Amino acid sequence: MHALEQKILTEGIVLSEQVLKVDAFLNHQIDPVLMQQIGCEFAERFKDCGITKIVTIEASGIAPAVMAGLQLGVPVIFARKYQSLTLNEDLYRSKVFSFTKQTESTIAISNKHLCNKDTVLLIDDFLANGHAALALVDLIEQAGAKVAGIGIVIEKSFQDGRKLLDEKGFKVESLARLQSLENGTVTFVR
């Protein structure tokens, strides 16, 4: 996706050979115009998949997921990382190892929002080693729902997540695919 790649080149900051900072438009400050374009792109790529719900993870997946939900006309559920006092109903829970924090945490979705009739599009901001995506898949499968596909805003193709998800047979659509972050420079898969 050209507009996203341009934004990464102009406003992304390479923190290391493994980590790209995108808090100027996605992870902290959000560019709503770009998010809308991202939502349209996801909707286009998954429009024939019979999606009934979108599932993402707080916080950074929410903006692109909501825009995709708007375009597809379906509700968006975000898995919560912290036990909220109001989240007191029955929960689907899974453990996820955080790439950026290097700690394990539990994520949860209330069982009232997902059921075995749902066909789900999973959306996240980054794909690194695939832990977050697989934890979301686990929550969706606990509900007996079907994972129709996985939409990723920025895939770091030099890490293991893409291969893992491909091997499991998921339809993965990434809007920007990073070949490398070596020498402080972003290069894309072509």
Please state the separation of Cα 52 from the chain's center in Å.
Answer: 17
Q: How far apart are CB 121 and ligand 5GP at their closest, in Å?
A: 16
Categorise residue 132: left if φ over 0, alpha if ψ from -120 to 50, beta otherwise. alpha
How far is 108 from 139, CA to CA, in rounded Å? 8
135's CB contacts (< 8 A; 6+ apart) are 57, 79, 94, 95, 96, 107
Is position 20 an interface residue for ligand 5GP (rule: CB under 6 A)?
Answer: yes
Buried b / exposed e along 161-173 (16+ C-beta atoms within 10 A)? bbebbeeeebebb
Structure tokens at 104: 């394990």
Is position 27 an interface residue for ligand 5GP (rule: CB under 6 A)?
Answer: yes
Is position 100 an interface residue for ligand 5GP (rule: CB under 6 A)?
Answer: yes
Q: State which of residues 66, 72, 107, 132 lies at the interface with ligand 5GP (CB under 6 A).
A: 132
Is position 79 an interface residue for ligand 5GP (rule: CB under 6 A)?
Answer: no
- Tell me whether residue 115 or residue 182 sits nearer to ligand 5GP (CB atom): 182
Q: How far apart are CB 129 and ligand 5GP at their closest, in Å?
A: 4
Q: How far apart are CB 73 and ligand 5GP at their closest, in Å?
A: 25
Is position 99 an interface residue for ligand 5GP (rule: CB under 6 A)?
Answer: yes
Q: State which of residues 3, 5, 11, 19 lies at the interface with ligand 5GP (CB under 6 A).
A: 19
Q: State which of residues 54, 55, 120, 128 lies at the interface with ligand 5GP (CB under 6 A).
A: 128
96 DSSP β-pair partners: 105
- Tell me whether residue 29 or residue 47 sits nearer to ligand 5GP (CB atom): 29
Q: State which of residues 7, 131, 162, 177 lies at the interface with ligand 5GP (CB under 6 A).
A: 131
* Residues, the chain: 190
How far is 190 from 187, CA to CA, in rounded Å? 9
Q: Which residues bind ligand 5GP (CB under 6 A)?
A: 19-22, 27, 57, 60, 99-100, 124-133, 161
